[in-house]
Amino acid sequence: MKNIKLSKANLGKIKINLNRDNVMISRSQHVHGGSYEGERIDGMKHGQGTFVYTDGSKYVGNWKNDKMHGQGTLTFSCGEKYIGEWDNDEKHGFGIYTWPDGEKYIGAWDNGEKSGQGICTWPGGDIYVGDLKDGFRHGAGTHTWASGEKYIGQWQNDERNGQGIYIYSDGKIEMGESKNNQLIK
């Protein structure tokens, strides 16, 4: 161990706290504003920690090499919230995203985008269950409107495209091929 010379002026700037596993836990100011309190390894956020952004947003969860990684919750100052898995600072894996107006997505994420199987619900009562890609309905899925109408079939870039069944609220059923959200039979 090296001897370090400290002056009284610098003494107040040092914050060291070792837990029982000898992992450094520190509180520091982030270069972009906000602050982090939690575990660090080699000066980087690593392990369990909390980051509070200057706008009031807050991330509580796991870190790896200064990036959100593993399980965590990001609560935005605007009221949006993501609870789920992270990889390299991106939503990745399974997660739940909610908006203040009541919109909600539960499902798979890939590099920050809704991708894979998921369920989308909107405040007006619409529900989509199915495949998503890059944030859009894409692949097989079912969209049920609050009016009672339902489309079961193929989606491409958030539009009905391909084979599907459209069920109207009065019970009438149409089957065929859709293109650009229109049934062309």
Domain ranges of the chain: 16-93, 101-185
How far apart CA 3 and CA 89 sit, in angstroms, is: 38
How far apart CA 146 and CA 87 sit, in angstroms, is: 35
Q: Quick one: fold of 16-93?
A: 2.20.110
Q: Which of 155, 150, 153 is closest to 173 using CA atoms?
A: 150
Torsion of CA 99, 100, 102, 103, to 10 degrees: -20
- Token pair for residue 91? 């939503």
CB atoms within 10 A of CB 120: 20
pLDDT for 185 equals 75
pLDDT for 17 equals 44
What 3-state class would DSSP assign to 119? strand
Q: Say if residues 30 and 40 touch (Cβ distance below 8 Å).
A: no
Pick the CATH number of 101-185 from 3.30.930.10, 1.10.150.170, 2.20.110.10, 3.20.20.220: 2.20.110.10
16-93 and 101-185 agree in CATH topology:
yes
Residues of the chain with pLDDT under 50: 1-20, 22, 24-27, 31
- Upper half-sphere CA count for residue 170 (Cβ side, 13 Å): 2
Q: What is the pLDDT of residues 99-145, one digit of tens each?
A: 999 999 999 999 999 999 999 999 999 999 999 999 999 999 999 99
pLDDT for 146 equals 98
How far apart CA 40 and CA 112 sit, in angstroms, is: 25
